[in-house]
A and B are shown apart, each in its own frame.
Chain A
Amino acid sequence: MGTGKTRRWGNSVARAPFALVVALLLIVGNLGIGRATPASASRAHASAGTLVYPLALQTLWPGTLDPSLVTSQTDEQVIQTVYNGLIKQVYNDKTQQFDLVPDLAAAMPTISKNGLVYTFKIRPDAMFSDGTPVTAQDFVYSFSRVIDPKAQSGAEYYMSPIQNADAYNAGKSKTFGAKAVDTHTLQITLAQPASYFLYDMTYPTFFVVKPDLKVGAAVTTTPSLFVGAGPWMLKGGTWAYRTKISLVPNPHFAGSSNFKLKEIDYVFTGTYDTMVAGYRSGQFPMAGLPSADVKIYRGQPDFRDTVVLGDVWYSMNVHIAPFNNKHFRLAVADTINRDVITKGVLNGTEASQTSWYPKGILGYDPTVTSQPGVPHFDLALAKQELAMALKEMGGKIPPISFEYRSEMSDVGREAAEVQNELKAIGINISLHPVPRPTWIKDGNSGKAQFIWTDWYDDYPDPQDFSDYLIRTGAPENWSRYSNPMVDSLFNKGNVATDAGTRAKYYKEAQLQILRDAAVVPVYQFATQDVISAKVHGMELNPSWGNNPQPVANDWTNVSVSS
């Protein structure tokens, strides 16, 4: 075959596929891109009156939308816009504490002299978004859903202060300490006085649901069941499952007619990287920043930074060698350089913490390390403690394994830093990354020797950082620490009614905890976000992680300009 013939048939044959490819690109491009501009206007955060609120959830949908089941902060974010309870928290910028104010309650409750009986008057105008009045009996029913033995709830812990709640949950009692005195009067009786109880009540398990919402109802996948008395309600009574939840103001919520915001669109991203890309592209008006992006945005007008009520500490099991030796534990506690970890390894995204209680929790004391006997970064002191420990342990350090969560890359780098710091004084540890379920199982088993531990507040009260984390026998007391004096101080703090007195007890307990060195507080979580200048009245606050909240917990403060 001649070259000319090749060229002729080559051209005619080649033209067809080439033309097809070009045509395809034109068609596809026109279909998608050509629609971008007019359609995107309706989706852009610049649409005045609509707040596009991105949430990072790998499954692209909340794990639950049932307030009786919620254990995740991201799920809480959506739930607390539609549901609400008797009281709510409001962050006070000046005191950096959370104040409690009535929500569906007409006023704060009256509390009996013995601290056991709380009586609430419910606002007579309180209604669900479908216009059904909210009654005291609705609250009783809502609480019972949480502790119903048939409920597959992991959240009944929050109801434990209520008389007989645990027995009810175990199927051993048919009643518990909540009763409707009349249509608008609710009485809650506690098993023992608990001055933290009102903070406990701000958790979603105390939100009211409609009386026809059965235990185990498929709220998470059935929009018609997602009905509350909160400030917002489902737009059109439906949602786009695993894509978007659109909310409009609940007309029956007091003050909703004053909302400048007309719609909230909760959208879900698989990762924070997607969220940041969405922010940069204008698709989202705010985004939580992964640690790698913090330095890019720090210092810019849209950057936000706050500590949150959660922290990290290292638990040293006081029953497993070498941590059964107090000098050894003090040596480790004196070696950990928190600032290198937070400012270096974690790029300034978390805040060093030396006290047991994090900043924002009653009992927090930034000067606690100045007290005698409290460990703090001091290598000379660490070596002295280690020498004493070695003398008592026969000169040998048994193998040490530091366990931490494998799926968190930041924690991996943190663990490597801990390994280096301890090596510098002669303590060699191996690193043991494990998946989260294994980490939890090992910690709970009491067999973890040296383990990274964390906690986020359920409610902003020191009791939440005491009874669950460090009291004798506490579920997340992974160091298996026990000191009756500390337990006694917790008991006093949990019932004292005056904030000053409570703080005194918790601070005293904290001092002893640190001196006993079963735990090494390392850092308090901080969160960084970007919020566009077009969004007004939304800010980070320490109780909500990456999720901005309306200022003063009041949606009338929020608006979006175009």
Chain B
Amino acid sequence: MALLFFIVRRLIAMLFILLGVAAVTFFLVRLAPGDPVAQQLGQHAGDVATYHRLYHQMGLDQPLWHQYVTYVWNALHGDLGSSVVSVGTPVTTIIGQGLPVTLELGALATVIALLVGVPLGILAAVRHNRLVADNLSMGVMMALYSLPPFVIIPAVWLIFGILLKNTFFHLPVSGWDGIGDPQYWIAPACVFAAGLAGLFARSMRSFMLEELNKDYIRMARAKGLAERRVIYLHALKNTLLPFASILGPTIAFLVVGAFIIENEFSIPGIANITVQSTLSDDYSVTLATTLVLAAAVVVANALTDIFYTVVDPRVKL
């Protein structure tokens, strides 16, 4: 029952948050310099009669407050407008196609990052100050965390796309064929995971070190518990709370994906559309993707709060 009330409270809060985000974004994008009509007309944007006709058709000649009210009314009925760059394409179609792809890529990257970063963080904490297990591995993780994707991607292309062409290890540099065809997602997911793994490893190491120095761990060892049990059953469990504080927002921001990765690997997700829409004054798409991100942050925070109560029954919703 408490969980149900919690979910309902968060849904109501999300509605107000989305209305606020929509209002701020709506007015901000329209106040910024730019022109969606000129964008659509391309190099014929100087054609005055056509320009004014399209301006009117898009409703841009209405007062801003009127445009906002119309937008909210339509949005509540499931109509988020049409794209200017993809002429006439409903925004819901664009989001509906791109969002699952971005989520797939983000999920794959998160899983890889967790499976690499968390064990390495634990190992670094358990073998604290050892050259390979701690210093070297955390150095590599720090490097991966620091290196931007546009540095890693050309190296990946060079090695797996070009130098290893026509070998067993060859990977395509571009394209997407769904989660069922790993050859297309291996490279981008690993590039995406690189930074995440660095973050997870470094964080887990810090949290684990803090736990391992606590009295209850000393007591557990003194009682003669197997070390594996001490680490994985007791210490690790207590790192989950602070780790969730990092994981929750990270997952939320996966929703808008990694623009550079999607753009360079030609992955049809929502991230490159989001950035393209801001550069092209595609107001409807910008607004919709901002709302998606806001909703994702709210949902991720709610899931994190629920997770807290699962891990630590003392925490109440």
Q: In the complex, what distance in Å separates the CA atom of A261 from the CA atom of B173?
A: 25
Task: Identify which of A1, A20, A152 contacts B221 (C-beta below 8 A).
Answer: A1
Residue of B nearest to A156 (CB): B50
Task: Identify which of B48, B264, B272 contacts A273 (C-beta below 8 A).
Answer: B264
Contact status A33-B112, CB under 8 Å: no
Q: Which of B188-214 contact A (CB under 8 A)?
A: 190
Task: Identify which of A278, A440, A468 contacts B173 (C-beta below 8 A).
Answer: A278
Q: In the complex, what distance in Å separates the CA atom of A535 from the CA atom of B240?
A: 56
Q: How large is the interface on B (under 10, 10 to 19, 20 to 34, 35 or more residues)?
A: 35 or more
Scoring A34, A157, A475 by chain B CB atoms within 10 A of each residue's CB, the highest score goes to A475
Contact status B273-A444, CB under 8 Å: no
Q: In the complex, what distance in Å separates the CA atom of A243 from the CA atom of B181?
A: 13
Q: Which of A445-485 contact B (CB under 8 A)?
A: 454-456, 468, 474-476
The yes or no answer to B78 lying at the interface (CB within 8 A) is no
Q: How large is the interface on A (under 10, 10 to 19, 20 to 34, 35 or more residues)?
A: 35 or more
B-facing mask of A485-496, CB < 8 A → 1, else 0?
A: 000000000000
Which of A56-64, A92-100, A374-382, A386-394 contacts the other chain?
A56-64
Task: Identify which of A1, A34, A63, A437 contacts B36 (C-beta below 8 A).
Answer: A437
Residue of A nearest to B119 (CB): A17
Residues of A within 8 A of B268 (CB): 60-61, 241-243
Residue of B nearest to A150 (CB): B57
A178: shortest Cβ distance to chain B, in Å?
20
The yes or no answer to B307 lying at the interface (CB within 8 A) is no
Contact status B168-A34, CB under 8 Å: yes
B-facing mask of A515-549, CB < 8 A → 1, else 0?
A: 00000000000000000000000000000000000
The yes or no answer to A31 lying at the interface (CB within 8 A) is yes
Contact status B120-A21, CB under 8 Å: yes
Contact status A58-B276, CB under 8 Å: yes
Task: Identify which of A221, A274, A441 contacts B266 (C-beta below 8 A).
Answer: A274
The yes or no answer to A409 lying at the interface (CB within 8 A) is no
Residues of A within 8 A of B126 (CB): 10, 13-14
The total number of A-B Cβ pairs within 8 Å is: 244
Contact status A267-B116, CB under 8 Å: no
The yes or no answer to A399 lying at the interface (CB within 8 A) is no
Contact status B119-A18, CB under 8 Å: yes
B276: shortest Cβ distance to chain A, in Å?
5
Residue of B nearest to A33 (CB): B169
Contact status B57-A152, CB under 8 Å: yes
Consensus secondary structure, chain B interface: helix
Q: In the complex, what distance in Å separates the CA atom of A33 from the CA atom of B87?
A: 38
Which of A35-43, A336-344, A554-562 contacts the other chain?
A35-43
Task: Identify which of B86, B172, B227 contacts A40 (C-beta below 8 A).
Answer: B172
Contact status B227-A12, CB under 8 Å: yes
Contact status A283-B174, CB under 8 Å: yes
Q: In the complex, what distance in Å separates the CA atom of A37 from the CA atom of B175?
A: 16
A-facing mask of B150-182, CB < 8 A → 1, else 0?
A: 000010010001100111111111111100011
Contact of A475 with B47 at beta-carbon distance under 8 Å, contacts A32-B183, A270-B263 already known: yes
Which of B37-45, B247-255, B292-300, B309-317 contacts the other chain?
B37-45
Contact status B262-A475, CB under 8 Å: no
Contact of A476 with B86 at beta-carbon distance under 8 Å, contacts A20-B115, A270-B266 already known: no
Residues of B within 8 A of A17 (CB): 118-120, 122-123
Q: Which of A417-455 contact B (CB under 8 A)?
A: 434-438, 440-441, 443-444, 454-455
Q: In the complex, what distance in Å separates the CA atom of A152 from the CA atom of B83?
A: 12
A-facing mask of B254-284, CB < 8 A → 1, else 0?
A: 0000000011111110001100100111000
Contact status A437-B119, CB under 8 Å: no
The yes or no answer to A101 lying at the interface (CB within 8 A) is no
B194: shortest Cβ distance to chain A, in Å?
13
The yes or no answer to A268 lying at the interface (CB within 8 A) is yes
A405: shortest Cβ distance to chain B, in Å?
11
Contact status A243-B177, CB under 8 Å: yes
Contact of A154 with B47 at beta-carbon distance under 8 Å, contacts A17-B119, A283-B174, A435-B34 already known: yes
Contact of A154 with B183 at beta-carbon distance under 8 Å, contacts A64-B88, A220-B86, A271-B263 already known: no
The yes or no answer to B85 lying at the interface (CB within 8 A) is yes
Q: In the complex, what distance in Å separates the CA atom of A274 from the CA atom of B149?
A: 14
Contact status B33-A24, CB under 8 Å: no
Task: Identify which of A24, A32, A443, A468 contacts B115 (C-beta below 8 A).
Answer: A24
Q: In the complex, what distance in Å separates the CA atom of A542 from the CA atom of B70?
A: 46
Q: In the complex, what distance in Å separates the CA atom of A20 from the CA atom of B44?
A: 58
Contact status A438-B33, CB under 8 Å: yes
B3: shortest Cβ distance to chain A, in Å?
32
Residues of A within 8 A of B97 (CB): 241-242
Scoring A16, A154, A275 by chain B CB atoms within 10 A of each residue's CB, the highest score goes to A154
The yes or no answer to B89 lying at the interface (CB within 8 A) is yes
The yes or no answer to A3 lying at the interface (CB within 8 A) is no
A32: shortest Cβ distance to chain B, in Å?
3
Residues of A within 8 A of B58 (CB): 152
Contact status B33-A274, CB under 8 Å: no
Q: In the complex, what distance in Å separates the CA atom of A271 from the CA atom of B263?
A: 7
B279: shortest Cβ distance to chain A, in Å?
7
Contact status B123-A18, CB under 8 Å: yes
Residues of A within 8 A of B48 (CB): 444, 475
Q: In the complex, what distance in Å separates the CA atom of A284 from the CA atom of B161?
A: 12
Contact of A277 with B173 at beta-carbon distance under 8 Å, contacts A14-B126, A152-B88 already known: yes
Contact status B276-A59, CB under 8 Å: yes
The yes or no answer to A170 lying at the interface (CB within 8 A) is yes
The yes or no answer to A218 lying at the interface (CB within 8 A) is yes
The yes or no answer to A182 lying at the interface (CB within 8 A) is no
Task: Identify which of B89, B175, B227 contacts A243 (C-beta below 8 A).
Answer: B175
A27: shortest Cβ distance to chain B, in Å?
10
Residue of B nearest to A56 (CB): B266
Residues of B within 8 A of A455 (CB): 43
The yes or no answer to A298 lying at the interface (CB within 8 A) is no
Q: Which of A264-292 contact B (CB under 8 A)?
A: 267-271, 273-275, 277-278, 280-284
Q: Which 4 A-B pairs give the minimum distances between C-beta atoms? A: A475-B46, A17-B119, A9-B227, A242-B268
Sample of 19 further A-B pairs with CB below 8 A, known A14-B126, A14-B133: A9-B227, A16-B119, A17-B119, A18-B123, A28-B190, A32-B186, A33-B171, A152-B88, A154-B40, A267-B174, A271-B264, A274-B265, A281-B170, A283-B175, A407-B279, A436-B39, A437-B36, A441-B38, A475-B47
Residue pairs across A and B with Cβ atoms less than 8 A apart, 29 shown, are A9-B226, A9-B227, A13-B227, A13-B228, A14-B133, A21-B120, A28-B186, A31-B186, A37-B168, A54-B174, A60-B272, A152-B40, A152-B54, A166-B49, A221-B89, A270-B262, A270-B265, A271-B263, A271-B264, A277-B161, A277-B162, A280-B162, A281-B162, A283-B175, A436-B38, A437-B34, A437-B281, A441-B38, A476-B46
